Amino acid sequence: MSSEQIGKTHGFYIVVSAPSGTGKTSILREVIKKYPNMLFSVSYTTRPPRPGEKEGKDYCFISEEDFRERIFRGEFAEWVENYGYLYGTHALTMKKYLEEGYDLILDIEPRGAKKLKEYYSGGVFVFILPPSLGELKKRLSRRGFESERMVDKRMYKALDELGEFVWYDYIILNDKLDTAVNALSSIYVAEKCKRERLENKIRDLFL
């Protein structure tokens, strides 16, 4: 899938990145409910499911052997290794939905987001910040399914990831869920109204 192919599709994609515990998943869930033409891009991963996660809805859970075979075949638009597990976005699935006119929202960490930004045009990149580092650590600790050592690891990684916000198109401060949901919704609606995304409809209007 080339950048030229992505540029010719009817839909567009939004990448949302944030350190673990920032509340990104809750924000995405609420925004997707509001827009029937927006689909969540389900990533592939080699990590086991967490409590409550469902196959094909939260992730496509596959073995490391299967994942690496897909890398070899060039199936992923982007992929990264994180905490010993592999994560990736399937290129053909992404292309299919965009060409069908759907808009995609992707939950991708900054390394994968950079790969998409470099190779696939037409994307919108949003970074979500926590209200404070202290609040971020509290949120990580409250999740309950990770050890204190893992919480410390995620905090260390969060400090590294926070420096990546400088190249994103939009920044959202998640101090209140409703406010953050409204901010991401506003970004989506504004991007839908950009002239270049409406050129075909504008052309049809004057024919």
Task: Return the pLDDT at 205.
Answer: 77
**Taken in order 156, 29, 67, 109, is the CA torsion positive or negative?**
negative
Residue 5 has a pLDDT of 42
Separation CA 130–CA 161 (nearest Å): 12
Amino acid present at 120: Y
Cα 154 from Cα 20, distance rounded (Å):
7
Which residues lie closer than 8 Å to 44 by C-beta, 6 or more apart? 59, 60, 62, 67, 70, 76, 86, 87, 88, 89, 90
User: Residue 141 in contact with residue 36, Cβ under 8 Å?
Assistant: no
Residues 49-55 have a mean pLDDT of 92
Q: Place 143 in a pLDDT band, splitting at 50, 70 and 90.
A: low
Task: Return the SS3 of 87.
Answer: strand
The beta strands (E) that lie in 31-118 are given as: 38-40, 43-45, 59-61, 76-82, 85-90, 103-107
Average pLDDT over residues 53-62: 95
What distance in Å separates the CA atoms of residue 203 and residue 176, rounded to the nearest whole number?
Answer: 41
Burial 148-166 (b: 16+ CB within 10 A, else e): eeebeebbeebeebbebbe
How far apart, in whole angstroms, are the C-alpha atoms of residue 170 and residue 160?
19
Tokens of 160: 């590294």
What's the confidence (pLDDT) of residue 12? 95
Average pLDDT, the chain: 89
For residues 63-73, average pLDDT: 98
Higher pLDDT, 166 or 152: 166
At residue 81, the pLDDT reads: 95
pLDDT reading at 35 higher than 80: yes
- 18 and 108 in contact (C-beta within 8 Å)? no
pLDDT at 2 over 80: no
Domains by residue range for the chain, with CATH: 3-41+103-205 (3.40.50.300)
Q: pTM here? A: 0.86
Query: Would you state the pLDDT for residue 78?
Result: 96
Strands 43-45 and 85-90: antiparallel
**74: three-class secondary structure by DSSP:** coil
